[in-house]
Amino acid sequence: MKILLTHGYFLAEDEKEKAIMRPYVPLGILYISAWLEQHGYDNEVFDSTFSSFDLLCARLIDQQPQVIGIYTNLMTKLNVLRIIQFVKANEQLQHTKIILGGPEVRNHAQKFLEHGADYIVFGEGEQTMLELVQFIDGTYEGTINDIEGVSYLDAEKGLLQNKERTKLKSIDALPFPNRHKVDLQLYFDAWKGRHGTSTISVSTMRGCPYSCKWCSRAVYGQSYRRRSPNKVADEIAHIKANYAVDSIWFVDDVFTVSHQWLEKFTEEMTNRNLVMPYECISRADRMNEEVIINLKKSGCFRVWIGAESGSQKVIDLMDRRVEVEQVQQMIQLARKHGLQAGTFIMVGYPGETKEDIYATVQHLKNADPDLFTITVAYPIKGTPLYAEVEDRFVTSLPWESSTDRDIDFTRTYNRKYYDYAIQMINYEVNYHKALKKPVANLFKLPMLKLRSTLAKGHMWMEERRRIS
């Protein structure tokens, strides 16, 4: 049985991502690949990141797989629809069954099915994908209705959604992802060429126990399951033995959620001489000095501490359940112990005002992170934020040619205001940083201040338009 797994992300078509150049290996389909292989189903992974739509189509025609499994998220949705359209329009692929999984499919299942997908896998995908493959192969002892975690269209009844898949009790049962199925050197070279060091992605947990209103929990739900520290250390030992890579990127939502786990992980890494540089994401309320010491001891060189806003009012509206002052303290403490600290900022959240945006500027000046990123809030279907603003959408966009990232809604100010706000925040904070070395930044300082002033002026004009 021929099975092809892909994800439909083409880096060459994404100018913004090319500028950033931080491509990550598609771990999700590599886990699916390993699970299928472990249960007797060989498969091919077509890693589209450094390839093209035309080459993927050529591979499909050449292989004519019985099953094509496609990981689908916000970034890949439109390309996934292109792939479906190609498969369904090609006579040589009429026997190919299209299975979609990933965070985008649960809340858009009917649309994807109406556009040609045969099956939707929602929730944890390994066992569901295996049973679907067995069903298509004719070896499954049951009917399609018996397969948990599947949606499909019935000619008479329309959309049918089977029972939710029971999550794996122990994710230690998962094999290592099939990294040998992709050319990791392409990723290493891309990172090395742009950032000076190469990196490899590793997952230690599934789910997130927190309740942020803007965050999608479409795959693992509001859960928390963790691989044991020794299993994670085994994987890192395997990576070190097989790949010449400089650092690890832990993809977990909150790496330090369990202090006990981190302590045991640190012991594994140090006792087995496995320490290598890594970066991770955390929350200020799951950090303290002991946690930071263990992070550094186990190899962490950079920790991203979520904040999203410098206004406590906005953080509470998001249901972030963290204190602004605590975020500042943990960023400062991490830097004190020699770690780089990064943070995330979001503007344009419902209820945010000009005063909240300037509170964010002050927050970043106080915290003084090494790095920060800023995005404009957008609602993802299935999240509390989406439900909160759905009746305030500015336009009704065609589903097949847009994503949730394109949705705008009536906010305190218009969309242009927040674009200028992002510029202002960047210039103001970088000006503040440059002031620490005024001689070295003698010519940079006036330019940063001028650009910040211009951005503030544009914000003022957009605010006037709203009032008038």
Question: For residue range 387-432, what is the model confidence (pLDDT) as tens digits?
Answer: 999 999 998 899 999 999 999 999 999 999 999 999 999 999 999 9
Q: Which helix (H) or strand (E) holds 13?
A: none
Inter-residue contact 364 to 390 (CB < 8 Å): no
Whether the Cβ atoms of residue 87 and residue 65 lie closer than 8 Å to each other: no
Instruction: Provide the greatest CA pair distance for the chain.
Output: 75
Q: Where in the chain is the domain with CATH 3.20.20.70?
A: 197-346
The pLDDT value given to residue 223: 85
**In this structure, how many other beta carbons lie within 10 angstroms of the beta carbon of residue 16?**
6
Per-residue pLDDT, 468: 55
Kindly state the average pLDDT of the residues 61-85: 97
Give the phi and the psi of residue 68 in degrees, each rounded to 5: -120, 120
Segment 178-205 mean pLDDT: 97
CA–CA gap between residue 307 and residue 320 (Å, rounded): 8
CATH: 3.40.50.150, 3.40.50.300, 3.40.50.280, 2.40.33.20. Which one for 3-161? Answer: 3.40.50.280
pLDDT in tens, 196-238: 999 999 999 999 999 899 999 889 888 899 999 999 999 999 9
Q: What mean pLDDT value characterizes the chain?
A: 96
pLDDT at 185: 97
Percent of the chain with pLDDT over 70: 100
Rounded to 10 deg, the angle between the 126-137 and 27-38 helix axes is: 50
Query: With contact defined as beta carbons under 8 Å apart, do 459 and 424 qualify?
Result: yes
Q: Which CATH superfamily is domain 197-346 in?
A: Aldolase class I (3.20.20.70)
Amino acid at 228: S
Return the pLDDT at 307. 86
**349-394 pLDDT, tens digit each:** 999 999 999 999 999 999 999 999 999 999 999 999 999 999 999 9
Nearest one of 140, 426, 141 to 434, comparing CA atoms? 426
Query: Is 90 exceeded by the pLDDT of residue 466?
Result: no
Mean of pLDDT values over 319-335: 97
pLDDT tens-digit readout, 245-272? 999 999 999 999 999 999 999 999 999 9
Cβ 330 vs Cβ 305: under 8 Å: yes
Percentage of the chain surpassing pLDDT 90?
94
DSSP state, residue 409: B
| Tokens of residue 383, six digits | 């999240």
Contacts of 149 (CB under 8 A, 6+ apart): 121, 122, 123, 124, 125, 127, 128, 162, 163, 164, 165
Q: Are 60 and 207 in contact (CB under 8 A)?
A: no
Is the distance from CB of 193 to CB of 19 less than 8 angstroms? no
Report pTM: 0.94
DSSP state of 70: E
Can you tell me the distance from the alpha carbon of 166 to that of 128, in angstroms, rounded to the nearest whole number? 10
Res 395: pLDDT: 84
Residue with tokens 């959240």: 349
Q: Retrieve residue 26's tokens.
A: 């598609």
What would the mean pLDDT of 288-311 be, rounded to a whole number?
97
Using 50, 70 and 90 to split pLDDT, how confident is the model at 467?
Answer: low
